[in-house]
Structure 1
Amino acid sequence: MSEVTANYDESWKEALNEYFESFLSFFFPLAYQAIDWTQKPESLDKELQAITASAKTERRIADKLYKVWLLDKQQIWILIHIEIQSQYDVNFEERMYTYNYRAFDLYHKFVVGLAILGDTSPTWRPNSYDQAMLDCELRLKFPIAKLLDYESRWHELESNPNPFAMIVMAHLKTKATTGNFSEREEWKWTLIRGLYERGLTKEQTVKLFKIIDKMMTLPKTLQAGLVAKIKHFEEETKMPFISPTEELAMERGEQKGIQQGIQREQQLIIRQLNRRIGEIESSLIDTIRTLTIDQLELLGEALLDFSSITDLEQWLQNL
C-alpha cells in the first residue's frame, strides 16, 4: 500500500481556528477562566510568521499566537502562544523560549506559552527552558498537555461534548495506526459515525468531520471504501452530511463518473451484440452488467468474431 502521511499540523490549525475557546477550556482551564470572553480574541498569524521567520527554528503550521483580554484587568491584554508538537524534538524547549521572547519583543506584553505534546513517548514531557552562567539565570516554564494521558480516559472522551475530545481521539488513533491503514480506516469510520451520537448541529458535525478526515489520512482505496460506508449510512439514517469535505465531494464525483462510464460501456456493448448476433436475452444482459470495465473492453474486442448467441454464452462461461 502506498505511503501515506498523517496530516496533524493542518488539522490542529483548523481546530484552533474554529475552537480556540473550547481548546483552552479542555486543555488549560486556568487560562480559560482568566480570560474575558466577552471580548473576541485576536489571532495574530501575520505577527507569528514574522517571529518564526526570524527565529533559527523550523516553523510549525500549527503554531498560533492570540491576543486576549483578562478579567482581572491587571494587564489589559496578553499574548498566548500555542505550540502543537506531534513528535519528539530535542530543540522543543528552546523553540518555546525563542518564540516567547520574540513575541514579547514585538509587543512588550506578557506571553503565555502553552504546549500540546502529541508524540508517542510517555516519558518526554518538556515544560521549561533553563540557562545559567556566572550568577546569571534565565528560565521559562510553560504548561503542557500530553495527549497520551487521555488514552486511559477514553470513555470520558467519548462522552465529553467539547470538540477537542473528538480531536484528541482522532489524534491518538492516527498515531496508533501508523503503518496500519486498515485499522485506521476502521477507527476513522467509528469516530465519524460517533459524531451523530453527540447531539451536534449539522454545521458542528461538518466542521469536526473535516478535521478528522484531514488528520486521519488514508490511501485512496481505503478512502473510497470509507466514502461508500458513509453514503450507505446516510441512506439508512436519512441524516446526510452537508458537503463534508471538498476531498470527499471529489471522491464521490470520481466514483460517480466511473460508474457512469461503466454504464455507457455496457450499453454500447449490448447494442453492438444486438446488431452482431441478434437480440440477446435479459439474463445475458444481466450478466454483462456484472462485468468490470476491463472485462467489458475484452468483450468489445471479442464480439467482432461472434456469429451466434452461443459464441457469447461460451465467452461468458470462460471468464
Structure 2
Amino acid sequence: MVDQDDGFSVNSASEPDDYDSPWKDAVEHYFSAFMAFYFPDAFLEIDWSKGYTILDQELMAVVRDAELGKRFVDKLIRVLLQSGDEKWIYIHIEIQGTKQAEFAKRMFVYNYRLFDRYDRPIASMAVLADAQPDWKPASYGFEVLGCKHFLEFPVVKLTDYHNQLDKLLVADNIFAVVTAAHILTQRTRKNDEERYKAKSLLMKLLYQRNWDKQKVIDLFYVIDWMMRLPEELEQQLWYEIEAIEESRKMHYVTSVEKIGIAKGRQEGKQEGLQEGLQEGLQEGEAKMLSILLTHRFGALPVAIVDKLARSSEEQLKNWLISAISASSLDAVFNDDMTH
C-alpha cells in the first residue's frame, strides 16, 4: 500500500519532451493530489485514510494484448470509498499524449476486461495531454438487437488550462505546477530562450511555497525532465538556483541532488546502451564535479583535471561528497576524507 504524497524518483525517458516518467511517478506517489486537482468530485468519495494500492503489474496482465497506441501513463489503483463499503473498487487512469482514433474504444475494452477480472466496479478516467483542443472523447459503446452496452468516463483536457496559467502558477496543488510545466513545455518547444525563462520562473516559484523539501525536490525532477535545455542554459539556470538558495538560506537542492538530476537526464538519453551509459555517466560526473570545484576554489590545476578524467564513478562520487564541505581543494582529494 502506498502512503499519500510520498516522494518519487526519476526514471528514464528516451526522447526530449517525453513526459512518461515524470507523469508516471507523479501520479503514483501523489495520487491523492492528482485526484483532488483533476477529479475533485471523485476525490471526495474516496476514503484516503485507508491508503491506496498501485496495481501496475495486474493492469499489464489484463491489457498486454491490446493495441495500446501512444500514451503517457496507464494506472490501476485500488481504493476504498467514504460510503462505508468495505470492498475495494478500482480506478483505471489513462493519460494520453496524442490524439488517437481508437482511444475511447481502448477505455471501453480496458474497463470491461478489468471488471471481468475483479468482479468489482471499475472507474475509468482520462487526462488528455495532447495539443488538439477539439479532441475530447468521453464515451464508447454499441447497440445491437435491443442490447445496449456503453461506457461514459470523465475526461480532463490539459488544453483547457491554457488560459488559466496564472492561476496554476500560484495554486497549492503539485499537479497545478505539473500542468503549468506541461503547458509551458508545449509553448516553448522550438525556442530555447523562452523555455529557459519559463523553466527559471517555475523553479523560482517553488521556493515561494511552504512545501516540504522532498516535494520541492520532486518537482525539480519533474520540471527538469519535461523542460530540456541546451547544456549552457542548464548551467546558467543552476547558477540562478544556487543564488536563490543562498539568499533565502533554503538549501534544498544540494550539489549531490543536482548531480543526480543531471545523471538521471543522461540515463534517459542512453537507456539500453550499458557500456555507453557507464562511460557517459562517468564523464558527466567528472564534468559536474569540475564545475563545482571551480565554482568553490577557482581554476583547477591540469593535474586535477586529468585526475578527474581518469577516475572511476565511485571515486568521483566520493570526491563530490567531500567537495560539498571541504575547506580547500587539497582536502577534497585527501584519501582520509573519502567515503
TM-score, normalization by structure 2: 0.71
Say which of 217, 242, 253 aligns to 2:228.
Answer: 217
- State the match for 1:302 in structure 2: none
- State the match for 1:77 in structure 2: 88
Say which of 290, 308, 311 aligns to 1:257.
Answer: 290
Say which of 162, 165, 180 aligns to 1:169.
Answer: 180
SS at match of 2:50: coil
SS at match of 1:54: coil
Cα distance in 1 for residues equivalent to 2:55 and 2:303: 57
Question: Could you tell me how far 1:59 is from its partner in structure 2?
Answer: 7.2
Question: Could you tell me how far 1:16 is from its partner in structure 2?
Answer: 0.8
User: Rg larger in 1 or in 2?
Assistant: 1
Cα distance in 1 for residues equivalent to 2:140 and 2:111: 11
User: Is the CA contact (8 Å cut-off) linking 1:53 and 1:59 kept in structure 2?
Assistant: no
Cα distance in 1 for residues equivalent to 2:95 and 2:49: 26
Say which of 98, 101, 110 aligns to 1:87.
Answer: 98
Deviation sequence 1:16-49 (CA, Å, 0-9, x none): 1221011111111111111111211110011011
- State the match for 1:98 in structure 2: 109
Fraction of identical pairs, as percent: 36
Q: Name the CA shift for 1:161/1:252 in 2 (closer, same or farther; >3 Å).
A: farther
Question: Could you tell me how far 1:216 is from its partner in structure 2?
Answer: 1.6
Q: Name the CA shift for 1:132/1:200 in 2 (closer, same or farther; >3 Å).
A: same
Whether 1:233 and 2:244 are equivalent positions in the alignment is: yes
Deviates more, 1:213-222 or 1:237-246: 237-246
- State the match for 1:121 in structure 2: 132
- Map residues 23-62 of structure 1 onto 2, 5 A cutoff: 23-58=34-69, 60=71, 62=73
- State the match for 1:17 in structure 2: 28
Cα distance in 2 for residues equivalent to 1:168 and 1:267: 44
Question: Could you tell me how far 1:60 is from its partner in structure 2?
Answer: 4.2
Cα distance in 1 for residues equivalent to 2:33 and 2:292: 42
Whether 1:248 and 2:248 are equivalent positions in the alignment is: no
Gaps of 5+ in 1: 269-319
Deviation sequence 1:184-237 (CA, Å, 0-9, x none): 121111101100111112122111211111122223333222222222333333
- Map residues 230-309 of structure 1 onto 2, 5 A cutoff: 230-243=241-254, 244=257, 246-248=260-262, 254-257=287-290, 263-265=300-302
SS at match of 2:167: helix
User: Is the CA contact (8 Å cut-off) linking 1:227 and 1:248 kept in structure 2?
Assistant: no
Deviation sequence 1:249-296 (CA, Å, 0-9, x none): 67675233267696223999xxxxxxxxxxxxxxxxxxxxxxxxxxxx
Whether 1:145 and 2:182 are equivalent positions in the alignment is: no
Cα distance in 2 for residues equivalent to 1:9 and 1:267: 39
Cα distance in 1 for residues equivalent to 2:108 and 2:231: 41
Cα distance in 1 for residues equivalent to 2:226 and 2:91: 24
Q: Name the CA shift for 1:20/1:125 in 2 (closer, same or farther; >3 Å).
A: same
SS at match of 2:133: coil
Cα distance in 2 for residues equivalent to 1:259 and 1:74: 56
Whether 1:133 and 2:144 are equivalent positions in the alignment is: yes
User: Is the CA contact (8 Å cut-off) linking 1:52 and 1:59 kept in structure 2?
Assistant: no
SS at match of 2:49: coil
Question: Could you tell me how far 1:138 is from its partner in structure 2?
Answer: 1.7
Cα distance in 1 for residues equivalent to 2:205 and 2:285: 22
User: Is the CA contact (8 Å cut-off) linking 2:221 and 2:261 kept in structure 1?
Assistant: no
Cα distance in 1 for residues equivalent to 2:304 and 2:121: 71
Question: Could you tell me how far 1:141 is from its partner in structure 2?
Answer: 0.5
User: Is the CA contact (8 Å cut-off) linking 2:52 and 2:79 kept in structure 1?
Assistant: yes
- Map residues 175-186 of structure 1 onto 2, 5 A cutoff: 175-186=186-197
Q: Name the CA shift for 1:24/1:267 in 2 (closer, same or farther; >3 Å).
A: closer
Question: Could you tell me how far 1:137 is from its partner in structure 2?
Answer: 2.6
Q: Name the CA shift for 1:100/1:24 in 2 (closer, same or farther; >3 Å).
A: same
User: Is the CA contact (8 Å cut-off) linking 2:19 and 2:72 kept in structure 1?
Assistant: no
Cα RMSD of the aligned pairs, angstroms, is: 2.6
Cα distance in 2 for residues equivalent to 1:267 and 1:196: 35
SS at match of 1:152: helix
Gaps of 5+ in 2: 1-13, 264-280, 306-339
